[in-house]
Amino acid sequence: MKLLILLPILLYSCARAPLKEITDTFSPSKGPRKFSVLNRGRLKSVIDKNIDQLELRSQTLRFGKYQVDRAVYINSLLDFKKLLHLDLSQAEFEKVVKEKFDVLEVYGKDRKGEVLVTGYYTPVIDGSKEKGELYSTALLKTPEDLVTIKLNKYYERFEAFELLSDERKIGQFVGRLQEKIVVPYYSREEIDYQGALGSKKLELAYVDPIEAFFMQIQGSGGVKLNKGETIYLHYDQQNGHKYHAIGKDLLDVIPIEEMSMDRIKNHLRSLRPNELQDVLIKNPSYVFFSINEGLPRTYFGTRVEPGLVIATDDRFFPKGALAYLEFDQDFKMPSRFVFDQDKGGGIRGGGRVDLYVGEGLEAGNVAGPLKELARLYYFLPKGKYHEVN
């Protein structure tokens, strides 16, 4: 989905040296101070749906330099679910969890294990199936000419690739074929303002141009059409251009202490069309969508579950993994078990996490200001995994 919001992504970046090698993603840890279990019933439901998706996936899950067989990991999730059914005290629950699982901490942001947590949600905006003065910008499905080149399929063939970091080796290029040569895919300016894809009939819905821009930042959402029908769009692909945070370009008109999604939207709505275009095209990144029945699904394929699903950088973090978010101040945001099921174009590296908080305006009011430091842990079935190079 993903998935990503807003002020933190519009303004901030990691201060620590970026994570470069997949083997550095996780390190052994003693784990959190305590395990708090929120929404026990919903958590059990998420486990079931998570297992259903794991059944369809590859045979292993990789946690940095550690690897575990898919069937073994599924059994460990079933064991964890059984614990949720037992009437255990807090101390007993923590004891059994640590008996059954080894705990790993993530590479982190400024410190090992520490992550910056932001929020994302499912916006529902007005739109139309037909282009008009009010709804003038199309949300598009993925073009057939978009191609993805995965570097890890090629780098061993060329000596020059040995100079690349491991992060680049497991990365990918997105482009299109032009006279049998792969070139960068069209930018936001080329797509929205130069009509590069206008003849391909990719339009899923037409919406307000500012709402279209923020729908792409979110990575998913609903569009309420003028006939009353609501369609839900899901992140499907991205054009391969680097994400640019437009909030950085607005600090001369919006003080940083007042920066928010609403302030940015209000400012953008005060601009003339050519001025609005000048701001939006500074972010060349562009997201394509697919239509889902019902609520949007995560990148992993499960339906989003408020408060229990996170988005991370899928180059490093295994999808379908059980994790634990330990917030520094529980009175602001309660610590909780979560499942890593999503990703987002602005969620990059070893120190960034997006927490899904729900659907609609109220959820947006929670997601917008969410910017908290936390510690992020993952779990491996004790004695049932092995190291890889």
Pick the CATH number of 7-121+303-387 from 2.40.40.10, 2.40.160.10, 2.40.50.100, 1.10.10.350: 2.40.40.10
Token digits for 198? 């206008």
Q: In what order do the strands lie in the sheet with 172-178?
A: 146-150, 172-178, 181-184
For residue 164, what pLDDT is reported?
A: 52
- pLDDT tens-digit series, residues 361-388: 888 888 888 889 999 999 999 999 999 9
pLDDT digits (tens, 9 = 90+) for 75-108: 999 999 999 999 889 899 999 999 999 999 999 9
Q: What is the pLDDT of residues 320-333, one digit of tens each?
A: 999 999 998 777 88
**pLDDT tens digit sequence for 126-146:** 999 999 999 999 999 999 999
Given the DSSP bridges, would you call strands 172-178 and 230-238 parallel, antiparallel or unpaired? unpaired
Give the tens place of pLDDT for each residue, 262-309. 899 999 999 999 999 999 999 999 999 998 776 678 889 898 899 999
CA distance 261 to 258: 10
The pLDDT of residue 4 is 40
Q: Looking at 60-74, 268-282, 352-366, which range is the least confident one?
A: 352-366
Architecture of domain 122-292: Beta Barrel (2.40)
What are the residue ranges of helices labelled H in 270-339? Answer: 273-280
Alpha carbon distance 343, 277 (integer Å):
27
Dihedrals phi, psi of 78, to nearest 5 degrees: -65, -40
Structure tokens of 171?
């990365």
User: pLDDT for 240-267, tens place per residue?
Assistant: 999 898 999 999 999 988 888 889 999 9
pLDDT band at 157 (very low <50, low <70, confident <90, very high): low
- Per-residue pLDDT at 17: 77
pLDDT band, very low/low/confident/very high, at 167 (cuts 50, 70, 90): very low
Domain coordinates in residue numbering, the chain: 7-121+303-387, 122-292
